[in-house]
Amino acid sequence: MKLNFKLKSSTQKVFSILSDAKQFEKFHPVIFKIDELGNDNYLIHETLKFLFIPLTFTYPAKILSNKEKGMVQMNAVVMKLVKVELNFLIKESTAFTEVVEEIKINSWLPAHPVMVMIFKKQHTKLFFNIDADLVS
């Protein structure tokens, strides 16, 4: 699945937020804490609501970035059941910054349709927060 976002924020700001776990945590709508484990590895703490019931869980993730190419990659295994790979390509345009996000979801569970819906909603809000700079 691919998502496209056009932002007023600078490419430098967007890259900085996506590649720095502590900044990412501040802007993400459901991640409330990220613990650094070393060597680009992190423990993500997240709360999602399913049928109005909050579900809090943690999962390991790896964040890799290449500033020259404007790329950030995040790999995670959520609840030991769903492997997720997020690839962000950040491109500068004359009028805006474009983020092309490719999301790969792999699980033996039939989780793909639900995960697609969750990512679309969460990441639309994530990039809105980045662009609006709602977080101080």
Q: How many domains does the chain have?
A: 1
CATH of the domain at 56: 3.30.530.20
Q: What is the pLDDT of residue 111?
A: 77
User: In degrees rounded to 5, what are phi and psi of residue 93?
Assistant: -125, 170
Q: Domain limits at 72?
A: 2-132
Q: What is the pLDDT of residue 136?
A: 42
pLDDT (tens digit per residue) in 83-95: 999 999 999 988 8
E-state strands within the chain = 2-7, 31-38, 41-50, 53-66, 71-78, 82-92, 97-107
pLDDT (tens digit per residue) in 63-79: 999 999 999 999 999 98
What is the pTM (predicted TM-score) of this model? 0.92
What is the rounded radius of gyration, in angstroms, for the C-alpha atoms of the chain? 14
The amino acid at 88: F
Q: What is the mean pLDDT of each run of 10 residues along the chain (136 residues)?
A: 94 96 95 97 93 92 97 94 95 92 91 87 95 67
Which residue is listed with tokens 């804490």?
33
Cα–Cα distance for residue pair 110/69, rounded to 1 Å: 34
